[in-house]
Amino acid sequence: MPEGIRDKVVVLGMGCSRFGERWESGPEELMLEAFSEALADSGVEKQDIDAAWLGVFFQEQSTGKSGLPLSQALRLPNIPVTRVENLCATGTEALRGAAYAVAAGAADIALAMGVEKLKDTGFGGLPERTKGSSEDLWLPNSTAPGSFAQLASAYSAVHKRDIKELKRAMAHISVKSHRNALDNPKAHLRRAITEDDVLNAPTVAYPLGVLDCCGVSDGAACAILCTPEVAKRLGRSDAVAIKALQLAPSNGVELSNDAWDGAHTLTTRIAAERAYREAGIDDPKSELDLMEVHDCFSVTELVLMEDLGVSDEGRAIDDVLDGRYDHDGAIPCQIDGGLKCFGHPIGASGLRMAYEIYLQLLGRASERQLDSPSIGLAQNLGGVPNRNVASVAIYGLKDITR
């Protein structure tokens, strides 16, 4: 069995732009905003970075296809830059490339950047993909809200939970995210809402209403990584370490036969199992202190609680309504507002999740700071329930003086 990268890579610095409708800024300005914070946080110079990874999803509409936009925007010292794309897990994919380079000894210090500029592309939601792509071939006439509405209906049917009860739990999730975002000055949507607001909002794809859906945003997030030995040389005493970083893409089973019941995300369960094994976590219910998950829709967050093993099968509704994942709950989830309210610039979202966990573990999350967390999980789900890629990353504090 491969031993993975547990504790071989630490986060030296992180930065995140303000997310939102950033009409005044192009992708270059957004990357510079995130990078400037990360560089200052890391305590190193630009010339110390050995390699970089750039995550962008809709490159034709905004940033460009190569690694040059990052190299040029930041005036990097002619180091290798690799552009990656993996649906909504693109930011985590950039992080994975940088982390593997450091763990392998190919780079002492590596940079991971995720960025997306979506609001001024001329589309109300996400831009259209290339005609004749796999989306057209496999999922003709499919929409993201329609696909996740089917997830909600399947969950209700498989677990025999009344759809009205499910909608109440979904409303609670949206209210929670909006409440958490009030304490986050970088969040896109900072307005409190009520459960009645959610339940009475216009329907998008039943049972999903407008306030069950995340929007799209402009933004960038950035991480500077190194080994614990390099961090120690730089005078650090403790740091946030990557405990696990796992990725699981669909292989066609969900689309090809009836083995999948439509009520869960198979890839998340596979990635989570691998990540817990790599991180040495036996009981995520008791060992995780906080989570950031891919809440593209409120029902997605609910279902992911079971896929990640922190709620029992068919019981996530009860845990959500009991406040288990609220700010003061057993495992706070989306403490920064999540995709729902912090925003979803696709290429940046995975790194944005890491940014929040990084701040929380170091006790630097200001008004939204939790009480002494030591381990957190971030999960991305790129695509739709029956055809996707899931990533699960686990971060924890590490004493690097030993």
Beta bridge partners of 379: 392
User: Among 16, 88, 222, 226, which one carries the catalytic annotation?
Assistant: 88
Measured distance CA(394)–CA(330) in Å, rounded: 17
Which is catalytic among the residues 172, 188, 294, 344?
344
110: tokens are: 């590596």
Question: How many angstroms separate the CA atoms of 355 and 370, rounded?
Answer: 15
- For the chain, what is the HEC assignment? CCCCCCCCCEEEEEEECCCECCCCCCHHHHHHHHHHHHHHHHCCCHHHCCEEEEECCCHHHCCCCCCHHHHHHHCCCCCCEEEECECECHHHHHHHHHHHHHHHCCCCEEEEEEEECCCCCCCCCCCCCCCCCHHHHHCCCCCHHHHHHHHHHHHHHHCCCCHHHHHHHHHHHHHHHHHHHCCCCCCCCCCCCCHHHHHCCCEEECCEEHHHECCCCEEEEEEEEECHHHHHHCCCCEEEEEEEEEEEECCCHHHHCCCCCCCCCHHHHHHHHHHHHHHCCCCHHHHCCEEECCCCEHHHHHHHHHHCCCCCCCCHHHHHHCCCCCCCCCCCECCCCHHHHCCCCHHHHHHHHHHHHHHHHCCCCHHHCCCCCCEEEEEEEEEECCEEEEEEEEEEEEECCC
Token pair listed for 372: 């002494």
Sign of CA dihedral 382, 156, 310, 214: positive
Report the C-alpha gap between 119 and 265 in whole angstroms. Answer: 29
The span from the CA of 74 to the CA of 306, in Å, is 41
Residue with tokens 């006439």, as numbered in its chain: 141
Catalytic (active site) residue 264: no
Q: How many CB atoms lie within 10 A of CB 108?
A: 18
Residues annotated catalytic, as ranges? 88, 344
